[in-house]
Amino acid sequence: MKDSFAVRAMEIHDRIWDQEHVARVLDFMAANNMNTLILHANDIVDAVVWPAYYYGEKNSNQTFYEHYKAIYKKLYKLTASRRYMPVHRRDYLHWVIRKAAGMGILVFLQNKELWFPDYIQEVHPAVCKNGHFCCSETFWLEFIRVKYSELMADFPELGGVITSPGSRESKLSVTSNRCECNSCKTLDSSEWYYQLITAIHEPIHQAGKTLVVRDFVFDSGSQQALSAAMDRFPADIVLALKNTPHDFYPTFPNNPKIGEARQNETWVEFDAMGQYFGWGIGICSLVRDWQERFRHAAANRVCGMVVRTDWEGLPGHSCFDTPNIVNAYAAALLAEDAARPSSDVYRRWLVAEGLIAEGAANAMIEECVTWLGGIFDRTWDVIRKTVFMDEYVFSDSSALPVGLEHAFWLAEEKNSLSDWHAGKDKTLRGTMENLGKIVVEKEQAVAEVRELLSLLSVNRGLSDSAHQRLLEQFKYFAVYVKGFGLVGQIAIMARVLAAQPPELGNLRQLLQERLKELLSHAAGVEHWLSSKELPYPVFALLNPERMRIFHDDVAAKIESWQ
């Protein structure tokens, strides 16, 4: 029997309001047997629900436009932009839902809670205490029930709602609560999660729709608190887990919560675009990694797979714009059968995207699959040695850190691997052993990407245009790896120098040489960027300004250590 998933979902995060892009994603989904579209924005529910109740319309049985007819004057007086924005976004979402339904695809909205319009503070001033929004204020539970009741009434064709109650990215959450009132000082995090989710669940359940709750949390303590609440959820709530804990970090172990749910269905989420593995500018095929992770999910009774195609922090960009679209094909095929070989993924990608030379015979197609698949299978190892430091995340969402403290804060605090992986707490300390290991890692990444570029130089079955485009993209990739390699070496050298006796003159000299090399590389990138018409994501990841500010930060520290 195949290890397959009943829910095969694709998520759009940044480009949900771009109708051409949404249509393109829907076409991809229909062609690849995917059945659920997720539209993700932190405020997406609030973007289409006023709620009318708080503008004086107490009849909850009215339709959206009947509500609008009753409150449009008050909307214009109190919150002018909310007079028309929910109207047009609501109509747009109805268009998307109808288009998707015609292709056999169900639509879910995904947000983060708590979220609310600023006007709510005027309606109920007690939500704010001593300058901070208050998590303990019971009004929030009423507000949530009203908001979701209106949403369900106006969008009866929705599959349901997906929400993250444990993220610091919402307007208010117990994980980021700054209120110091007596109730908040004694607030039980698990109970707060439970009460919030219960309030969201009631109107969604009454409408016969599905509520999905994500365990998007930033540390293991928050995960445990949310998990305790999840254990009390009704059986019809679905749990959604990122495939790795905290965020989409491919060097992290499988999310330990996969397989723990006793009664609730579980979906597992993946990222195809690459927020933490290069955005597709640093090219990264995760086909082989995902083969194992999909099998793990299937073996642990997971019934749904979600693949994210873009990221809200990167305007107008998607895996559909880069070679990382291969990860979208991997998700689609592995969701149908977790045992599919990687050659099936590469063949589907090359043929479906029209990258094969016109008139190519089957033998040439298979040669191209083997050749290019072999190159792409190696890209993850290059990325692993580039934007990670001994598997720690030391990139700023794939961009360069801007200082020495920034690099190690990203690795050890914000994205801490040791919080989830026992035994990894010593591998970034300032020792000569760690220095040697990390310098070799960065040098290997540079050597390996150059080798891949060389292997790609001889065309073995691609169309001329596809071959030239890939060559250009791999050149960006090589420049990206070089810059990160220098920054990584400088970071660990500086940490070791700060921790060791001052007589390490050879290390100080080597560090000075790497700093000069980084400045030279930044100048070369600056010249290269100014001579080409490049898309914004390429500019952002190769940004020489970040290299220079990192250089200046480390150079100043070396001077102070003398």
Q: What is the pLDDT of residue 503?
A: 61
d(CA 113, CA 42): 8
Spatial separation of the C-alpha atoms in residues 15 and 22, rounded to whole Å: 7
Q: Are strands 160-164 and 210-214 parallel, antiparallel or unpaired?
A: parallel
Q: At what angle do helices 464-499 and 505-530 cross, to 10 degrees?
A: 150
* pLDDT beneath 50: ranges in the chain: 1
Helix, strand, coil tally for the chain in percent (to 5):
50, 10, 40
- Cis peptide bond prior to 51, omega within 30° of 0: yes
pLDDT on residue 1: 40
The pLDDT score that the predictor gives to residue 151 is 96
- Three-class DSSP category at 262: coil
Q: What is the pLDDT of residue 457?
A: 97
* Rounded-to-integer distance, Cα 285 and Cα 345, Å: 11
According to the model, what pLDDT value does residue 417 have?
Answer: 86
State the DSSP H helix or E strand holding residue 487, giving kind and residue range, or none if neither.
helix 464-499
In this structure, are residues 217 and 223 in contact, taking their beta carbons and an 8 Å threshold?
A: yes
Q: pTM for the complete prediction?
A: 0.95
Task: Put residue 239 in one of left, alpha, beta given phi > 0 → left and psi -120 to 50 → alpha.
Answer: beta
CB atoms within 10 A of CB 301: 11
Contact 292, 307 (CB under 8 A): no
| Residue 7 burial class via C-beta count within 10 angstroms: exposed 0-12, middle 13-18, buried 19 and up | buried
